[in-house]
Structures are given as C-alpha cells and as structure tokens.
Structure 1
Amino acid sequence: MQPGLRTVCGVLVDALSTVLREPVALTVAGRTDAGVHATGQVAHADLSPTLDTAWLVRRLARLLPPDVRVRAVSPVPPAFDARFSALRRHYRYRVATAVHGADPLRARDTLSWPFPLDVDAVNAASAGLLGEHDFAAFCKRRDGATTVRALQELRWTVDDDGVATAGVSADAFCHSMVRSLVGALLDVGRGRRPVGWPAALLTRTERASEVPVAPAHGLSLVGVDYPADADLAARAERTRRVRVPGEAGP
C-alpha cells in the first residue's frame, strides 16, 4: 500500500475490510512495479477459521473494480507467509514482433517491438544469466537488501502470431530486475549488443546505466510456488535471514 496512490493491495484491503467489517492486513508474495500485471499473485491475511471462503469470493466479485479479481480463497497453515515462504516466482514478458504490432485485445499486456528480434541470439544470451549471481547491474538497489538471486529459468519462445514470450523464474527478484533483464536481451536481439554482453554485466556491483528497462505493461507475474506445509516455517525463516538482513518485516 502507498499513501495517496491507488494500488492493488490497497484496493483489496479496502474491499476485504468492507466485506468483513473489520480491519484487514494483507501480505503479498511480492511487489510489482507500477504498470506490471499479475495473474498469479498470492496474498495472505489472518481471518476467522470459520469464514465461508466461497461466499467471500462471491462478495469480492461484486465489490471489486473490474481490474482486480480474487480467483480463490483457501485456508493455509499458521506458518504460511505469502512473501517469505515462497520458493520461486514466475514471470512472463510478451513482445509482439509482427510489423503491425500487438493485437489490440492484448495491447495492455504486450510490448509492440518495432525492430528485428533474433530469438536464437536472445536465448543464447539468456543461458549465460542462469544460476545464482549478484544481479546488481540489473537492479535498483535498496538499502540493506541483497541483490544476489538464483535465476532458474530464462527462455524465449515465439508463437504463430509472432509474439515472443520470455519465461522468467527465480527464487526472488530485486527491484526492476526482470524488466532490466528483458531490456538488455532485447538489445541483443536487435543486434545492438553481443550475445555475451548481459552475462558480462554480472561482474558489476552497481546498477549498469546502459541497461535499458523494458516497459512495465509487457510483464506479468503468473505464478508463485510454495513448499509442503511442513516446510513453510523453515523456508520463511531462511528467506528472511538471507534476503532482507536488518529489515523489520515485509
């Protein structure tokens, strides 16, 4: 939530508090930049164990604005933490490579790319970024937070309509990391940078000013993975210790 600004979290908190007639605090799996979409966001709140979850979904469907939906509500163990218990997040970035640009019905979540895109070169460059690295060159640094991340998937595919989609998965992402990775790889795909350039930036300890940040609207958070119930507490504790040293909370 951000004072004075409309956010998805703020809209959900207001709706839940109205429906349940009590203040509700929400913890989400991860922040997204303004303009980034989420079709698989996860959040948790402490609610009554007797709550009718199907009823809550129906009530929220009537109350929420058209651009925010709650697909399901489920009980979880007390140890569950939507942010810190997460094993990995999955993002997709859509790029329309056709001369005519993005389909009008998908223009809100697809970047129209007016340049050639060598997907083979992009995938070769992407392979060099996989694994655990310090992604400082691709992140907007936050005080007290590490920029070391384990990038588990970064691969591009192209469908029959000429839409190239980057599938990106990691244990976590730092601020603007995915959009910066995509921006760097698009520069490789159009021939402005060599294949080895993105991986070479991993030696940097500060953000690389020459890395372009891809527009927000092409990016969507599509899923979050969690461990088995018995491992939730241990995962949350490990994540807090490693990812946010000195931070008081989510």
Structure 2
Amino acid sequence: MPLWKTILSYDGTPFHGWQVQPNLPTIQGTLAHAIHHITRESVLPQGSGRTDAGVHALAQVASFFLESPIPPANFLRALNHALPPSIRVLSIEHAAPSFHARHSAIGKTYEYRIHPTNSICSPMQAPYVWPCPFPLDMEQLQEAATYILGTHDFTSFAAVDPDLTARIAVLKDENSSTSPPSGASDVNFQSASALTTRTIYESAWRQHEDLLIYRVTGTGFLHHMVRNLVGTFAEAGTGRIPANSIPTILAARNRSAAGPTAPASGLFLVKVEY
C-alpha cells in the first residue's frame, strides 16, 4: 500500500487537540473521517506530534497508508472539499514506506504570540494570542529565553504525560526486578532522564507591531513544554522571578519549580523538519 505524507494547517480553537477522542472533535479524527468519506478506507493518520486542545498549526505533518489509487492532485482537492474550513490540506504526496510523521522527525519549530493589554486587540486576532493582562519587559523575556539553549532535562517544564510516565515506570521496574551492579542506579537515572531531555537550537523573542512573539526550535518537545516555558518567561518579564533563575528551575526537575502554563490560544506549530 502506498504511504501518503500530508501537510496540514488548522485553527485549533474548535477542536480538542490532535489525538482522536470518543465523542469529541479532534484534528486526527476529522481527517480520518474525511479520508474515509473519499476512499471508504478506515485509517488513523499519524501526526508529527499531538497538539493540545486549542493549539494551532501552520504546517502539521501526518502520514498514513491507503490502498486507493487516487492521484495526489485529486486527493488534495477532495480532502479540502470534505474537511471543515478550519482545516486545510496544504500538500499531499507519496512518501517512502519507511517514513513516519512522528518517528522520522528530527526537529520542530513553535511560535507563541502574546498581545499585551495596553493596546487594543483586533477581534480577528484575539483567538490566536494570549491577551496578557500585565506589562512584560522584553529584555527580561529575552534573557530568560537564552538559558534553555542547548541540551537539558525539561522535566520542570513538562505536564504529566501518561505515555511518558509509563515508559519511565518500565525503566524503574526493570531496575528493581534485578540485583544491579554498583553504579547501575545512576545508569537507570540517566536512562529515565533521557526521556525528558531535549536539545534547543533557537529560543528568542521578537516584537512585531503589537505582538510579542516567542520562537523556539528543538529536537522535540514534552507535553505542554512550550506553554510552560512561556508562562515561566512571562513571570520573569513581570519581575516576579529573576530571569537568571531558569537554570535553577531546570536543575530542580520538578514541575512545581516553574511558572504557570500559558493559554493554548497563542501557540502555533510552525514547522517540522525531517
């Protein structure tokens, strides 16, 4: 069966995230329904990542196998006709059988957009920003953002993820079920830490007209990681915490050490690299 690779753009506002859920509208479920409507085949498209409820995408990538011999150009038109206006297929093509939208990804870029409340936000823009209720110092935002560059364990900025928790539990169980040699506990700690370690290549703020825009590129991101980073940077931007406290927060490996979670409305998946 041919493997298809598609790039999607969507407004996440009316959806309960990417991953299919019973009796709730999701991006994955809506795309699967559209594919079934066109081909009569039941597939579950695999996305590059599971965007949360209310999070948007400029270029989400999905892959799936199909038996139907439909030309890509025809498939593109049919999908956009079958999908709601809040989801658009930007491109669709055949890919190598070894390609996987999530497992083949080597990097992702997200942007987060804040609209300070000291200016009027257009109603056309309001669903796609965080209307931050307090003034933010751009220098403090920028300083805080630089401390996450490089490779770090981002446990302090990760929400509870059942899949990740289960994988860490397996490592701990493997460690406790045997009599480890001296130093083995350190090895298992490092193995568990590897699951929450990411490398960040870009982390910077810029101002565009009335918006404060945070852009971050890395090898991958944990559950709620970008929103938790933005919420913590905002704490530095208001002066509630010093910008140079970010390394201490990272070292704590404890979610309670970091700041609040920024709203989903301001977050965009911008690009996935392969």
Give the whole-Å Cα distance in 2 for the aligned partners of 1:66 and 1:209.
Answer: 40
Contact 2:115/2:132, CA 8 A, preserved across alignment: yes
The alignment's TM-score, normalised by the length of structure 2, stands at 0.78
Q: Which residue of 2 aligns with 1:201?
A: 249
Residue of 173, 176, 191 corresponding to 2:221: 173
Q: Which amino acid counterpart does residue 219 of structure 1 have in structure 2?
A: L
Query: Is the counterpart of residue 222 in structure 1 residue 241 in structure 2?
Result: no
Q: CA deviation at 1:104?
A: 1.5
Q: Give the letter for the 2:146 counterpart.
A: A
What is the alpha-carbon distance in structure 1 between the residues aligned to residue 259 and residue 140 of structure 2?
A: 17
Describe the superposition over 1:148-193 as per-residue Cα deviations: whole angstroms up to 9, x where unpaired. Answer: 111121100001x220100011111110100000000011111111
Q: How far 1:137 sits from its partner (Å)?
A: 0.5
**1:37-96: CA deviation from partner (whole Å, max 9, x where unpaired):** 111100001124842111111111211112111111011111111001001111110011
**What is the rounded CA distance, in whole Å, between the counterparts of 2:68 and 2:99 in structure 1?**
14
- Structure whose CA Rg is larger: 2
CA deviation after TM superposition for structure 1 residue 98, in Å: 5.2
The Cα offsets for residues 203-247 of structure 1, whole Å up to 9 and x where unpaired, read as 122322552000000001011000xxxxxxxxxxxxxxxxxxxxx
TM-score using structure 1 length: 0.86
Contact 1:102 1:110 in 2 (8 A): no
Determine if the alignment matches structure 1 residue 115 to structure 2 residue 134.
Answer: yes
Does 2:168 match 1:149? Answer: no
Structure 2, gaps ≥5 residues long: 1-19, 169-194
Please state how far the C-alpha of 1:119 moved relative to its aligned partner: 1.1
SS at match of 1:23: coil
- Opposite residue 150 of structure 2, the aligned amino acid is G
Identity of aligned residues (%): 37
Q: Which amino acid aligns with 2:139?
A: D
1:57 aligned partner: 76
Distance 1:24 1:86 in 2: 21
Choose 38-47 or 108-117, whichever is displaced more.
108-117
Cα pair 1:98 1:163 within 8 Å, conserved: no
Give the direction of change, closer, same or farther, for the CA distance of 1:210–1:88 in structure 2 (3 Å limit): closer
Pair 1:132-2:151 in alignment: yes
